[in-house]
Amino acid sequence: MRPPRQTSLLLAALLAFLPLLTGGCASKAGPPHTPGEAGAENAARFARDEDALLGDLAAVDARLARRTGMVAKESDVRKNVMGAILAEDATLEVGDEGALDLFSFEARARGLEAASQRARGWTYPLAKDGELERRLLVRLIDEEKARVGEEKSLPRSASELVRGVVACWVPPANQEAGAERDKWLARRLSDVQASLKDGALTKFEANELDDSLDALERLTTGYGESSVAMARLRVALDQVKPASVPAHDGEAVQRGVRTHLGLATDTAMFTRLERAEKELRKVLSASNAGRSEADMRGIEAEALKNVLVEGRCQGNGSRLRSRTPPPERAFVCGSLRRMADAASAPTRTAALMALHTELVVALWTSPIHFGQDNPYRAANKLRPLMPIPPEREVRLLRVAAVRPVAALAVGWAAVLLTEAGPDAAAARANRWLSFGDAPLDIVEGARLWAETSATGHK
């Protein structure tokens, strides 16, 4: 990682901004177009605008570059650097891959706000599919703006930031770049350590952060300064007192679910989750009653292997819906692919068993974040249908406690897949995969399946 210190880079950024500051002449109106010509022209215009904006976003956050398949351009890096200079932001750093480093919160927020204003300024008419793509682009930017606010809240966001560093890691180009990255990482790990204090994290959050450091530690073998900083951070995690009670941060969960999933976290949501869990439990209990113990052990092992596994949707015909999903919805695409790929009766049963467990994990979020229970008490009140080893159950419980939006996303996917009955789940999963990743309110409103469920929902 490197701080924006090169004078030539700053001068080039200023020169790049001059045309924007001086303005330009409006082009003369051309001859009128037929509706078909105008539609095709607007579609091509949006494709160009979308490509340019995704390039800007790639320079704001390397995770977005990975998810959208874009590469940050030097001109976009200059804009970020110049924005930091004009805002007197001394915290900005630029990574080897060209994007802002994830801890440059203010610079990320500025870049996303500029992107938001641009996207909202595209008022030219588009056909139905194009309008959906434009709407998804605006929603993507809104999600990322919210993410900056969430990740500024150190140390609670530290595990997500560390996972982001790991996901975007590329080998340094040379020894000098490696030494510079070592210094950068040591500084950022020290920032996390400085944010720690008694009661700042629950035990589940502290363990989540400690586990996320394992992958980073493997990548940084031989990095002297960052290894020392990481060791100090781990010691500090052991020494600070965890929060004595869960955060019960229902309002924060509601904001996250509304932003990243497009859903309301209300009584109606948990009623549908509870109904789906009970109905699926009843169906599976009845269908498994005649199976041998050996068959059940095989089905349960297959199911457990595929609970809360991340994946990617297809999104045929859409650039945004075919991208890698954000962390809040990554379990959804994994769940869909597992259900769609279940070719035999045992694998279909295993897929449904995994869906049921994901519904249970989603329901654990209610007493943990909206009630008064600690995670273990919540888990004791509602048990998965299949036996789960204690160490694996702790990891599932940690998702409910630390990543509740992701838990509710995959739980809601289970509702949508099974509300017309378990037999319809595979077909629904295939249609959803073809549609691709999107906030769940858009998926639910897209009328991907024609059959009506017993509850009257479509």
pTM, two decimals, is: 0.87
Among 141, 131, 143, CA closest to 53: 141
Q: Say which amino acid occupies 239.
A: Q
Other CB atoms within 10 A of residue 22 CB: 7
- Find, among 242, 314, 261, the residue nearest to 438 by Cα: 261
Measure the CA–CA gap between 439 and 141, rounded to whole angstroms. Answer: 12
Comparing CA positions, the residue from 239, 232, 160 lying closest to residue 198 is 239
Domain ranges of the chain: 7-20+35-151, 158-239, 250-445
Distances (CA, A) of 379 to 245, 257, 351, 415: 16, 21, 21, 20
CA 150 to chain CA centroid, Å, is: 12
For residue 284, the model assigns a pLDDT of 96
Which DSSP helix (H) or strand (E) runs through 136? helix 128-151
Let me know: does 100 contact 61? Beta carbons within 8 Å: yes
Of the candidates 400, 395, 305, the one whose C-alpha atom is nearest the C-alpha of residue 361 is 400
Which residue is it, tokens 């008490």? 377
**100: DSSP letter:** B
DSSP-derived secondary structure for 249-262: -HHHHHHHHHHHT-
For 161, the token pair is: 């930031």
Residue 435 identity (one-letter amino acid): F
Phi first, then psi: what are they for 2, rounded to 5°? -140, 135
Count of beta carbons in the 10 Å neighbourhood of residue 80: 27
> Cα-flanking dihedrals φ and ψ of residue 331, to 5°?
-65, -30
| List of the chain residues with pLDDT < 50 | 1-32, 452-458
Tokens found for residue 227: 């290894």
Model pLDDT for residues 251-286, shown as the tens digit of each residue: 999 999 999 999 999 999 999 999 999 999 999 999
- 């330009």: which residue's tokens? 24
User: Which residues partner with 280 through β-bridges?
Assistant: none
Helix (H, G, I), strand (E, B) or coil at 289: coil
The one-letter amino acid code at 216 reads L
Sign of the CA dihedral running 99, 101, 104, 108: positive
Cα gap 435→133, rounded to integer Å: 12
**What per-residue confidence (pLDDT) applies to 289?**
92
**Could you tell me if 348 and 426 are in contact, meaning their C-beta atoms sit under 8 angstroms apart?**
yes
